[in-house]
Amino acid sequence: MAKKKTIDFQALLNEVDTLFPTYQALDQDGNVVDESLVPDLSDEQLVELMSRMVWSRVLDQRSTALNRQGRLGFFAPTAGQEASQLASHFAFEKEDVLLPGYRDVPQLIKHGLPLYQAFLWSRGHVVGNEYKDDLQALPPQIIIGAQYVQAAGVALGLKKRGKKNVAFTYTGDGGSSQGDFYEAINFAGAYKANGVFYIQNNGFAISTPRDQQTAATTLAQKAVAAGIPGIQVDGMDPLAVYTVSKLAREWAANGNGPVLIEAVTYRYGAHTLSGDDPTRYRSKELDDEWQKKDPLIRFRNYLQNKGLWTKEQEEEVMENAKQEIKDAIAEADKVPKQKVSDFLKNMFEEQPQNIQEQIKFYEAKESK
């Protein structure tokens, strides 16, 4: 007679995996598959959300071209992630604090950063980091996952001040394997801080496939270790992303603690335009498969079926976006170029002697 297992480890794994289904409101053709996840947005709000997503796609295309022309510096493509980025941001309020990663520039602009400053940030210009007092955001974090730690601190600050606002932040699937990720959600969970944490899972940590960087079936289930809610959502579905984000914000703002959201998405372009070649690790078949799930196509179909969106509307949004980008890059070009002496002057409120000497050295060099 076979001895009964005292502990069935495989059963433990299977049990956890069943707790994290993928929430979806629209299928890839724009048909409603779960009415309970369709948000109570007005027609004007639905059109505004679509306009923001189209704007973001144009920004991605124009930024890529400007980078290739040498008119921008660092750029991380965003095409394909419009729902996970813009629909999530749509659920937050102006007073909520955004702590973006380097790919989350579209949300930052919609949160209030002038576009020309975003371009200056790309160029490494200090003016790109000079935020007005009413902009509730920090400059994009370059270190993978580091913005999570900052967000946890800001979220606790909001809670201790009795605010009904939240801090929200984003990282990629690779970021969820970093130490900062675990430390941040654990800290925020222990103190029930007002935070909403996103993982934008596009399937690759630069070139490493997701299933090779973690054994976890979903990334949302990493929330279990921190004792906080974790949820997985179709990141190509703007309505589901919005609904999940709105509910998570309400949960966190009401003092219940943070939420971790995994948005399953796909980015068409390279990791960044600083040397990555996605054709070395992604197949055309995989790209084609995800193109069928494009967030713009499915949301366009949904809105057209409701009589809220036309080809002419979309073309107008695209033309306005192109003009906005053209004006912003012209404004960025007017800002005096960054000097080494400027960097040094910004390092300390009172410069020590060695910095003073370096400032004099570079000012003499720059004046020639």
> pLDDT, tens digit, for every residue of 257-275?
999 999 999 999 999 998 8
For 202, residues 6+ apart whose C-beta sits below 8 A from its C-beta are 80, 81, 172, 173, 265, 266, 267
Instruction: With a cut of 90, say whether residue 349 has pLDDT above it.
Output: no
| pTM attached to this predicted model | 0.94
SS3 percent helix, strand, coil of the chain, rounded to 5, is 50, 10, 40
Average pLDDT over residues 266-288: 93
Least confident window among 146-150, 159-163, 338-342: 338-342
Identify whether the C-beta of residue 194 lies closer than 8 Å to the C-beta of residue 185.
no
Percent of the chain with pLDDT over 70: 99
- Across the strands, what pairs with 169? 99, 197
CB contact burial 55-68 (16+ within 10 A = b; e otherwise):
bbbbbbbbbbebbe
Least confident window among 13-22, 43-52, 103-112: 13-22
Q: In the prediction, which pLDDT does 287 show? A: 94
Instruction: With a cut of 80, say whether residue 131 has pLDDT above it.
Output: yes
Q: In the prediction, which pLDDT does 27 show? A: 97
Q: In the prediction, which pLDDT does 1 show? A: 63
Q: In the prediction, which pLDDT does 367 show? A: 83
Q: In the prediction, which pLDDT does 343 show? A: 86
Q: In the prediction, which pLDDT does 233 show? A: 98
> pLDDT, tens digit, for every residue of 235-260?
999 999 999 999 999 999 999 999 99
Q: In the prediction, which pLDDT does 301 show? A: 98
Average pLDDT over residues 307-312: 98
From the centroid of its chain, how far is CA 243? 17
> pLDDT, tens digit, for every residue of 77-121?
999 999 999 999 999 999 999 999 999 999 999 999 999 999 999
Q: In the prediction, which pLDDT does 62 show? A: 97
Instruction: With a cut of 80, say whether residue 348 has pLDDT above it.
Output: yes
**Could you write out the DSSP letters of every residue in 296-359?**
HHHHHHHHHHTT---HHHHHHHHHHHHHHHHHHHHHHHHSPPP-HHHHHHTT-SS--HHHHHHH
| Local structure of residue 48 (DSSP, 8 states) | H
Average pLDDT over residues 308-323: 98
The owner of tokens 């299977």 is: 14
The highest-confidence range among 6-20, 276-290, 307-321, by mean pLDDT, is 307-321
* Residues identified as active-site: 267, 271, 281
pLDDT band at 2 (very low <50, low <70, confident <90, very high): low
| Local structure of residue 139 (DSSP, 8 states) | P
- Rounded Cα gap, residues 360 and 363, in angstroms: 5
Average pLDDT over residues 7-15: 91
Share the mean pLDDT of the chain: 96
